Amino acid sequence: MKEYWSDRIRNLAPYTAGEQPRDMKYIKLNTNENPYPPSPRAIEAIRANSDASLRLYPDPGCTDMKKAICEVYGLREEMVFAGNGSDEILALCFLAFFDEKRGVCYPDVTYSFYPVYAALFGARREVIPLNEDFTLPVEKFMGKNMGVLLANPNAPTGLAVGLEDVGRIAAANDAVVVVDEAYVDFGGESALALLDRHPNLLVVRTLSKSCSLAGMRLGWAAGNPNLIAALETVKNSFNSYTLDRLALAAGAAAIRDTDYMKACCAKIIGTRERTARRLRALGFAVTDSRANFLFAGHDRAEDIFKALRARGVLVRYFKQPRIDGYLRISVGTDEEMDAVMEKLEEILKTL
């Protein structure tokens, strides 16, 4: 029954998040969460701020977290925006930069929230197919005179585009180019280095992956002050207090603890590469992932997905054209990945 629903959402197909089951204990490799705990400094910051000050609204300007970002990444404060996870920031980008007049284009195989946002906010969109090997057809994103939205590294393929190509796309379009860098700390190149050259370039980051703070919902964006002002205008027309006091404290502490973050990412990268070699040895086609997950192809992918779940392992399977023969496997600890590989060997013997 949708009799009271607005026309905007009546036929909307919402984003489907990876399952968070509670029926049994799983090796959970389906939502690209970091297998390691957050920085001890972030945990201590949460404890230190769990006091009577929680009766007060948080800082709507997110000042300390923005200062931490500027210190670590060499940015000016007017170039930085903080939001309630990168997903919220991406939603604000649709409201700020993309509409029916000036639309947006994105790849056909990418983060599945993009088409949901486009439909929700009524943005004209063009879906551009990736190449057969899932690499980005860079030239097809140039000269569009519409917005461009790229996940780099891409999800679910894990493949990354170099900075030269990102710069070419930004230079060739008279509209905002948003680069979603949720996974960049696991082997990609950040487009932050290009911001001074391209006033239409916006980089969106999250603390969910490399900083192990998925449960806090923290994200930020960087770009020309004009773009940041647009995001602030939308945010302050919707919800001025997007980040709570504990999240802001944890975010600032985690961002400043760069050594801890880099050490965790290095462990994940090492585990990713070892697991990729083992998957290939079992006959999987594995992309050259630069993310904290592996994209592994097999002609019995759906059967393997179901068999893994029955054995207590959750991975992600997308039953959609072009990628229904692949599994997206988040990288866990070495012990978790060893257990998964043992189960995969058992499963493949039975298929």
Span 286-308, pLDDT tens digits: 999 999 999 999 999 999 999 99
Say what the pLDDT of residue 16 is. 76
Task: State yes or no: pLDDT of 15 exceeds 80.
Answer: no
Bridge partners of 98? none
Bridge partners of 82? 220
pLDDT per position as a tens digit, 255-278: 999 999 999 999 999 999 999 999
Task: State yes or no: pLDDT of 113 exceeds 90.
Answer: yes
- What is the percent of the chain where pLDDT is above 70? 99
Residue 73 tokens, joined: 């990444």
Q: What is the mean pLDDT of residues 316-333?
A: 97
Q: What is the CATH code for 7-37+259-350?
A: 3.90.1150.10
pLDDT per position as a tens digit, 135-191: 999 999 999 889 999 999 999 999 999 999 999 999 999 999 999 999 999 999 999
Which class for 349: exposed (0-12), middle (13-18), buried (19 or more C-beta within 10 A)?
Answer: exposed
How far apart are alpha carbons 261 and 21 in whole angstroms? 28
Tell me the CA distances in angstroms from 95 to 38, 48, 118, 193, one per residue in order.
32, 36, 10, 26
Residue 13 — pLDDT band, cuts 50, 70, 90?
confident
Say what the pLDDT of residue 68 is. 98
* pTM summary value: 0.95
Task: State yes or no: pLDDT of 22 exceeds 70.
Answer: no
How far apart are alpha carbons 323 and 20 in whole angstroms? 22
Tell me the CA distances in angstroms from 124 to 36, 105, 293, 301, 332, one per residue in order.
40, 9, 31, 34, 38
CATH 3.40.640.10 matches 40-257:
yes
Q: What is the mean pLDDT of residues 22-39?
A: 90
Q: What residues does each domain of the chain span? A: 7-37+259-350, 40-257
